Structure 1
């Protein structure tokens, strides 16, 4: 059966020829596994690609890229399929699915790992924690390592070891013309610079090499719940503490609605709360002293901060962020002024669903010590990253929820420079992307785009347009 696409018809023989050149497989509309193969984490994006190519290795990726180019197909690249903006799927085009590619090699002496791009953070942590090593990973362990890293990579080790992208030492990339290149400080250095914060604009990353650090297996981490009546004192007290916290401690404030969990009093279920989440990456004894002030910001409803395996902290939030819900994220780098915090607190009281939230991510530490020009991720001076999330189990009224998130973001962003974190946004908005990079950085990204993808084959991302398409 032939397949209709936006650009024409793919005949059976054409698709069969593609599949014959793969070690992996092709999933077509009508195949029994098609609906499962096309599904992504964010239910907001219900797309029907013409083909899903499940790649078994780099050679399959090369074949898929060449096929997409020859057939003039829209290309979506999928790793963990968490893309909030829906970039890991498309209508009528080809999905290059890297999820079968889950190999990893850990060198515990050199403290390096080479990981294939289909791994999630749960997969990678499983391999590296055997040796007591880790790199900054996602806050939800089902997140794919590749897209997370290419956009920056904010996680619990940010203040101690920087972003995931700060710890990237090399990457293997399939370019738009089907070449396989290695990017590092010594090889294709401009591409390597762009990959660390410039997203998936420049090719399909098939493997990533990271610098690892001694972490765990036990860390001091967890959650402290405070009532909404104490929100202002908790948030302002947290702001003051962040000015003198040790780099081993990374914290996150979550302004949310209390879920019906057994460790929370029943009378709190369904009420708005402030949750202070954090992890101390150093010695457990020193950690007790470091987290002590977090327990005195108010009168806790529940204090769940204590020793736990690093992998447990990495997956602690997973039950709240399962696949299949409708999600919209947007973000802004801000300074935590009184006016900015007032805006955050005000919008917390207006969240449209129980699972809609505002997050305040503490920055600084190792994150801030990376020179702004060293990587494409150049928003190093801000103290806080605010993430505004609209989330619902069903689509009814979701447009209004998105409108709330956008309005909240614009209000909060007015207290910063307008830049967003490209991994935390549900919009493919060129103006937002442009505002997230200083002029010199954006112009440099365009030059790299011109060199590696001049026709914008890889445009399902927070897109940096090449000069020819501008």
Structure 2
């Protein structure tokens, strides 16, 4: 067979020749420098994956996070195709002496997976799932979105807890802990992690496991958040058997909503409900009307699940609007649109501001009613409030065994505000602040690190607390002593 050069390699050689023949381009917005022709050519030559520069036609799209509230302008975005691309990207960034951001899905709620004037190492094209059923393990590449991860497990009877959003990718999610519908049954996703392959700033690739030389790094990567210790190249998970789940959803009228919320906290978080029952409570808008809804999965037979939620169905006005048996991947996808797609008809380009906190004290029904009344003052129909209940397997996992320390709480409560312009942003922020002020007395001061917030005054205390943060700093000093991986809320070496 005749030798034929790779089309990708041919395209790269053309770009290299073009760079070397062109004068220096002007810096992109917000940047004080640009790359020389030799630097651009070197980066193209050393990588298999795509490299996007500010003058490329796709640059404005590729620099975006999923939330357009964050507008940054990196010197280059490197879409890595393999481990060698990651190592080349790290070395190139270190020579330049600029900032680095690591991005898999681009869902950072604080915009920390992109930067201005530095390099973005994008892992979204490094995706794949390999099952090792004999050892009940699954090996997943960092840029694998949950719709692919779940799809690969669908029909196999195997399961790993994932998040509800199909476009979120593995690497960022697991390093922040990772909550999903089955977490009360099987734990936070990082609790199921078996190993991480990690590229360090030194250029070395290590494997971190619960035992061995890098056990400390294994501890830190499960809750210590991404972009702190290295670039995760692969995650291996312990799988569990879960052939099917029962999916359910209940709606209520406005008059009973506060009563329901009080009951959910009292009997369906750390106490009362079987741990096989997972759910999310949603306040949102559908067709211009506020929706009061709880939807979830039961990891077991329908009749057991129905018995568990029967007290909720006894409340006047309750309606069981989803009653469906299927696989976890099928139900996880189904709930994106049923019984309601929340938020509904979200416009392209709309921005989001998120605030969250952990509830560990009982909220009286009268206060829940105040929360509902404040929710009704939402500026537009795309804002939401939702809860993620804890208890069960989450609470059983020892606090000191990972950097995810949020174990003994009732729930995480999240306030999502959407806005289209600066004037609306100010109004939405005031609405969020009003809700947060109502809930603050019932919070423990901690925040789920997968929902980072730039406005936090003491992020280390909020995400980890003093003891865990000190250990994270010790591990940071060991694996990244020069603080190469650094951003506004990164872990500082000692």
1:305 paired to 2:330: no
Instruction: Go from structure 1 to structure 2 and tell me whether the alpha carbon gap of 1:94 and 1:192 turns closer, same or farther (over 3 Å shift).
Output: same
Shift of 1:196: 0.6
> Helix, strand or coil: the match of 2:400?
coil
Matches within 5 A, 1:112-123: 112-123=137-148
Instruction: Go from structure 1 to structure 2 and tell me whether the alpha carbon gap of 1:428 and 1:147 turns closer, same or farther (over 3 Å shift).
Output: farther
Report what 2:163 is aligned to: 138
1:317 paired to 2:345: no
Q: C-alpha separation between the residues in 1 aligned to 2:464 and 2:39?
A: 41
Q: Indicate if the aligned counterparts of 2:360 and 2:444 stay in contact, CA closer than 8 A.
A: no
Report what 1:4 is aligned to: 27
Q: Deviations over 1:359-413 (max 9, x none)?
A: 1211000000001100011121111111111123566511321233244334423
> Helix, strand or coil: the match of 1:414?
helix
Q: C-alpha separation between the residues in 2 aligned to 1:166 and 1:389?
A: 27
Residue range with higher mean Cα deviation, 428-437 or 377-386: 428-437
Report what 2:56 is aligned to: 31
Matches within 5 A, 1:328-347: 328-339=353-364, 341=368, 344-347=371-374
Q: Indicate if the aligned counterparts of 2:162 and 2:178 stay in contact, CA closer than 8 A.
A: yes
Instruction: Go from structure 1 to structure 2 and tell me whether the alpha carbon gap of 1:454 and 1:151 turns closer, same or farther (over 3 Å shift).
Output: same
Instruction: Go from structure 1 to structure 2 and tell me whether the alpha carbon gap of 1:121 and 1:96 turns closer, same or farther (over 3 Å shift).
Output: same
Q: Indicate if the aligned counterparts of 2:374 and 2:434 stay in contact, CA closer than 8 A.
A: no
Q: C-alpha separation between the residues in 2 aligned to 1:456 and 1:301?
A: 54
1:164 paired to 2:189: yes
> Helix, strand or coil: the match of 1:303?
strand
Given candidates 294, 302, 319, the residue that maps to 1:276 is: 294
Q: Indicate if the aligned counterparts of 2:181 and 2:296 stay in contact, CA closer than 8 A.
A: yes
Report what 1:263 is aligned to: none
Q: Indicate if the aligned counterparts of 1:172 and 1:208 stay in contact, CA closer than 8 A.
A: yes
Instruction: Go from structure 1 to structure 2 and tell me whether the alpha carbon gap of 1:239 and 1:417 turns closer, same or farther (over 3 Å shift).
Output: closer
Shift of 1:227: 2.1
Q: C-alpha separation between the residues in 1 aligned to 2:461 and 2:272?
A: 33
1:254 paired to 2:276: no
Q: Indicate if the aligned counterparts of 2:375 and 2:435 stay in contact, CA closer than 8 A.
A: no
1:384 paired to 2:411: yes
Residue range with higher mean Cα deviation, 356-365 or 278-287: 278-287
* TM-score, structure 2 normalization: 0.87
5+ residue gaps, structure 1, are 261-269
Q: C-alpha separation between the residues in 1 aligned to 2:488 and 2:332?
A: 26
* TM-score, structure 1 normalization: 0.91
Q: Which has the larger radius of gyration?
A: 2
Q: Deviations over 1:232-254 (max 9, x none)?
A: 11112222331211111012211
Report what 1:152 is aligned to: 177
Q: Deviations over 1:3-41 (max 9, x none)?
A: 637463310211110111111121111212222322221
Q: Indicate if the aligned counterparts of 2:174 and 2:189 stay in contact, CA closer than 8 A.
A: yes
Q: Indicate if the aligned counterparts of 1:428 and 1:461 stay in contact, CA closer than 8 A.
A: no
Q: C-alpha separation between the residues in 1 aligned to 2:483 and 2:431?
A: 32
Q: C-alpha separation between the residues in 2 aligned to 1:394 and 1:214?
A: 47
Instruction: Go from structure 1 to structure 2 and tell me whether the alpha carbon gap of 1:199 and 1:343 turns closer, same or farther (over 3 Å shift).
Output: farther
Aligned residues between the structures: 456
Matches within 5 A, 1:45-444: 45-187=70-212, 188-200=214-226, 201-216=228-243, 218-242=244-268, 243-257=271-285, 259-260=286-287, 270-300=288-318, 303-315=321-333, 316-317=335-336, 320=342, 324-339=349-364, 341=368, 344-392=371-419, 396-427=423-454, 429=456, 431-444=458-471
Q: Indicate if the aligned counterparts of 2:108 and 2:451 stay in contact, CA closer than 8 A.
A: no
Q: Deviations over 1:248-291 (max 9, x none)?
A: 1012211222x13xxxxxxxxx1223111111012233223223
Instruction: Go from structure 1 to structure 2 and tell me whether the alpha carbon gap of 1:464 and 1:297 turns closer, same or farther (over 3 Å shift).
Output: farther
Root-mean-square deviation (CA, aligned residues, Å) is: 2.2
